[in-house]
Structure 1
Amino acid sequence: MSRLTGEFVLRSGRTATEYFDKYQFEADPVLLDQLAEQMAVLIPEGTEVLAGLEMGGIAVVTALGRHAKLPCAFVRKEAKKYGTARLSEGAEVAGRRVLVVEDVVTSGGQVVISTGELRKLGAHVDHALCVIDRQEGGAQALADAGITLRALLTRADLS
C-alpha cells in the first residue's frame, strides 16, 4: 500500500523503521474511495456525525461520509483565532453521537486530545475509526480514555 522502510520520526516522537505514507492512499482517489467503502461497514450503529482530524483524517472522513451518507465535521488541532474561531467546522457535534476518524493511529495521543475537545463541545464520542492501527499502544491509550478503536488495517496486516 504505502509502506516505506528506513528510519522515521513519527508524530508521537517515536522512531520507527517502517512508515505508512498515508498521503499515498489519501491522494489517490480510486484507492481512497475503496478504503472508505470498506471502512463504512465499521461505523458503529447510531453514529450521527463523522469527525475527521486535521490533517490526514480530513480526506478520509470526506470519502467515508460519501459512502456512509453521514455529515462530516472537520476538527482542528486547536481552534482558529480568526473568523468563526471554531475547533470543529462543518456538521454540528453538540448532543450528537460522533465517530472520530483518523488515518493512522500510533500512540493515539491526538485522537485522545481531539476527543476530549469534542466532548467539551457536547459531542458523545466513544469510538474512533482509522485506516491503519500501527499497534503501538494507541488502542490501549484510547481505551483508557473511554474510546474503542476500530481499524480497517493493522500493522500486522501490512507486514
Structure 2
Amino acid sequence: MQANRDRLRQIVDEKSLIIGQDMTLSAGLSSSFYFDCKKITLNGEGLALLADVLLEEIDKFPERPSAIGGLTLGADFMVAAVVMRAHQIGHPTINGSIVRKEPKQHGTRSHIENEMPRGTRIVVVDDVITTGGSTAKACEQLLKGGYEIVGILALVDREAGGVENLRREYGCNVHSIFKKSDFPRIAAG
C-alpha cells in the first residue's frame, strides 16, 4: 500500500496544493499555501487511492468502527468512496453519515444524513485539519446523535495545532495521511 500513499501524495502535491497567493482558510486565518482537496476527491484516481488508504488507516484503530462520517462538504466524497470501496473488496461493512452545517429544513429535518443507532462506533473524516474547528463541529453533532467516536482521520494536517486540539477534546486517535511537512514545495515557497 506504500505505492498507493506515494501516488496519492504526488496527486495532492500536483493537483491540490496551491502556493504563492494569499488564501483565507475556513478557520478565518490567512495563508500563503492552500490544499484544495476537492481536486482530489473529485478526481477518479485520487478518490480511489484515498478510499484505499483511508480503509488501511481505519483498520489500524483498536476499536473497529461500523461507520464513517464527517461535516459536509469536506467529508462527503471521502465517506461515499470508503463505503463503496469497503463493499467492493468485501471489507467488513462500513456505513456512512454526513453532518449538515444546519438541520435540514424539510422532510426529516435532520442534522445528520443517514443517522444510525445510538452507540454506533464511527471514525470522523475531514479533508484538511487546521485548527480542528470544522472537524469538531461534526464530532459535536455526532456525539449529540449518540455516536461513539473511535477516531478522527484527515487527508492533510496543516500542522497548526488542530490534531492536538481534537485529540485533547475527544480523547481518541487522531491521524492524518499527510502533513504539511510532507510537501517540500511549501517550505520552498
| TMscore range, shorter length | over 0.9
The equivalent of 1:136 in structure 2 is 160
- In the TM superposition, what is the alpha-carbon distance from 1:68 to its structure 2 partner? 3.0
Structure 1 residue runs of 4 or more that deviate by more than 3 Å after TM superposition: none
CA gap 1:125/1:12 in 2 versus in 1, 3 angstroms: same
Mapped partners of 1:108, 1:64: distance in 2: 22
Q: Deviations over 1:5-38 (max 9, x none)?
A: 1110100001111001111111101111111111
Name whichever structure is richer in helix by fraction.
2
Gaps of 5+ in 1: none
Where 2:68 maps in the other structure, the secondary structure is strand
2:70 is equivalent to residue 52 of structure 1 = yes
Mapped partners of 1:142, 1:52: distance in 2: 14
Where 1:151 maps in the other structure, the secondary structure is strand
Paired residues in the alignment total: 159
Choose the corresponding residue for 1:3, options 17, 30, 33.
17
Gaps of 5+ in 2: 1-11, 88-93, 185-189
With structure 2 as the length reference, what TM-score do the two structures score?
0.79
The equivalent of 2:103 in structure 1 is 79
Contact 1:132 1:153 in 2 (8 A): yes
Mapped partners of 1:107, 1:27: distance in 2: 24
- In the TM superposition, what is the alpha-carbon distance from 1:65 to its structure 2 partner? 1.7
Task: Give the percent of matched residue pairs that are identical in Structure 1 and Structure 2.
Answer: 28
- In the TM superposition, what is the alpha-carbon distance from 1:39 to its structure 2 partner? 1.6
With structure 1 as the length reference, what TM-score do the two structures score?
0.93
Say what the alpha-carbon RMSD is for the aligned residues.
1.4
Where 2:51 maps in the other structure, the secondary structure is helix
Mapped partners of 2:85, 2:70: distance in 1: 15
Q: Which has the larger radius of gyration?
A: 2
Name whichever structure is richer in strand by fraction.
1
